Amino acid sequence: MELKQLIQEVKPEGSEDEAVISQWVHAYHGGFKYFGQSRKVTRVKIKKALIGEGILKADGKISPKSKKKYGIKPRKAPKFKFIDLFAGIGGMRLGFQEHGGVCVFSSEFEKNAQETYFENHGDFPFGDITKINPTAIPDHDVLLAGFPCQPFSHAGLKLGIADTRGTLFHDIATILETKKPKVALLENVKGLLSHDKGFTLQTILQRMVQLGYQCNIDKTLIINGSPRQLQEAAKHMVLRSIDFGVPQNRQRIFIVLWRDKKIHHFKYPEPLGIQTRVGDILEDNPQQKYTISDKLWSGHRKRKDQNRINGKGFGFGIVNAESKYTNTISARYYKDGSEILVDQGGLNPRKITPLEAARLQGFPDDFIWNKSNVHVYKQFGNSVTVNVVKAVAEEIYKQIL
């Protein structure tokens, strides 16, 4: 059976052929299960199809061209397997690979992020998670998901049942129910605590309990407590980038969940105690094009003055090399750079460069970013801070896996 024909047997709607091929190549190299592997789509058939397409040589070795394309490196026995959902550009992946994990499946809906992910990891993410059959996903130890925050239906609330259908969290829950990994790490904005007056957080935690998972919040409190009580209890799950050596005032909630009933508590990573400094992530000679125009600079100052008059207190944020940290970089940074401007003495301030944006999220300097600065800022603004994920991954590996 030809490769294209075989792909059509398993490819979900909304995903590209390349997603299946790249997963199969990595699965072949790593010795783990192929996406969609079944009695009909067997390991033998997949191997023959890959050989027929020239991805594998006749002797079964991956061709040099394919090694380069798919980022194949010398094989190491993985310490654990994970899947990367709502993967973005792979910040979560980088953090867990650091501690010996291997990614066996990834999913990301946004096309430009898919391209950046593939460019850096050699793995083209599958698309629409709502179209993916959980049974086709390879077995894994850890599920990673930085999912969008969506409101849930209050239907059946009096019976203690919240309806998550129609939300992306429902698809995460379905995968957990089907594959039952040892650990799930759910990442979100700090605003998840207050979203829908705490009902969203309550629904997520109650659903996890139903699926056999636990976290640092007592099960009785999750089931019988009020949203307000859960909000208070979940505050310790919020981690700050500046506590892990990155000069950015970014706060995110990391909900660590596990199935092992012998484990009763997860110790979150402690702050490193490193004094951060914005100058450590700045380039020495940034290009002139990042300096904002007179018109934009004037607009920023006028808005800040008006906001002050209106009692809002919002406006641009300006830093210099000696500042301890920046504001949080967001996906809208490309619009006007207002949250993080770098002081240039007598000149107009400038936006941070793509390299500085990468460093501000803990990505390595050799990370390949998108050719469009618009997408660069969107992607880094939407990403996680790699340093924080590394710290969480280390504790998960030591304490649970």
Where residue 164 falls among pLDDT bands split at 50, 70, 90? confident
- Helix (H/G/I), strand (E/B), else coil: 291: strand
CATH code: domain of residue 170 = 3.40.50.150
51 lies in the same domain as 192 = no
Instruction: Extract the tokens encoding 92.
Output: 């979560």
CA distance 222 to 210: 11
Q: What is the pLDDT of residues 306-343, one digit of tens each?
A: 777 676 666 788 999 999 999 999 999 998 888 999 99
Strand order in 318-319's β-sheet?
318-319, 341-344, 347-351
Question: What pLDDT, on a 0 to 100 scale, did the predictor assign at position 336?
Answer: 86
Question: What pLDDT, on a 0 to 100 scale, did the predictor assign at position 311?
Answer: 66
Contact 282, 355 (CB under 8 A): no
124 lies in the same domain as 66 = no
What share of the chain has pLDDT > 90, as a percent? 82
Contact 340, 352 (CB under 8 A): yes
82 lies in the same domain as 197 = yes
Contact 35, 27 (CB under 8 A): yes
118 lies in the same domain as 264 = yes
Q: Quick one: which H or E segment has residue 365?
A: none
Which residues, other chains included, contact 331 with Cβ-Cβ below 8 Å and sequence gap of 6+? 377, 378, 381, 382
Paired with 276 in beta bridges are none
CA distance 199 to 53: 51
390 lies in the same domain as 368 = no
Q: What is the residue range of 47's domain?
A: 1-75
214 lies in the same domain as 237 = yes
167 lies in the same domain as 288 = no
Which residues, other chains included, contact 159 with Cβ-Cβ below 8 Å and sequence gap of 6+? none
Contact 266, 395 (CB under 8 A): yes
CA distance 179 to 333: 37
Instruction: Extract the tokens encoding 262.
Output: 């012998």
Domain termination residue (choose one: 75, 91, 113):
75
Q: What is the pLDDT of residues 95-105, one digit of tens each?
A: 999 999 999 99
Q: What is the pLDDT of residues 109-153, one digit of tens each?
A: 999 999 999 999 999 999 999 999 999 999 999 999 998 876 666
Contact 118, 16 (CB under 8 A): no
Cα–chain-centroid distance for residue 374? 19
Catalytically annotated residue among 51, 149, 238, 355: 149
CA distance 47 to 371: 34
254 lies in the same domain as 289 = no
56 lies in the same domain as 133 = no
Q: What is the pLDDT of residues 180-200, one digit of tens each?
A: 999 999 999 999 998 888 888
CA distance 328 to 343: 17
Number of structural domains in the chain: 3
Contact 392, 400 (CB under 8 A): no
- Say whether pTM exceeds 0.75: yes
CATH code: domain of residue 325 = 3.90.120.10
Is residue 160 predicted with pLDDT exceeding 60?
no
Domain termination residue (choose one: 75, 91, 117):
75
Residue in 330, 274, 335 with CA at minimum distance from that of residue 299: 335
235 lies in the same domain as 312 = no
CA distance 310 to 20: 54
Q: Is 215 a catalytic residue?
A: no
Domain termination residue (choose one: 47, 75, 103):
75
94 lies in the same domain as 163 = yes
Is residue 281 predicted with pLDDT exceeding 90?
yes
97 lies in the same domain as 199 = yes
Give the C-alpha distances (Å, rounded to integers) separating 128 from 62, 174, 188.
29, 14, 19
Q: What is the pLDDT of residues 365-388, one digit of tens each?
A: 999 999 999 999 999 999 999 999
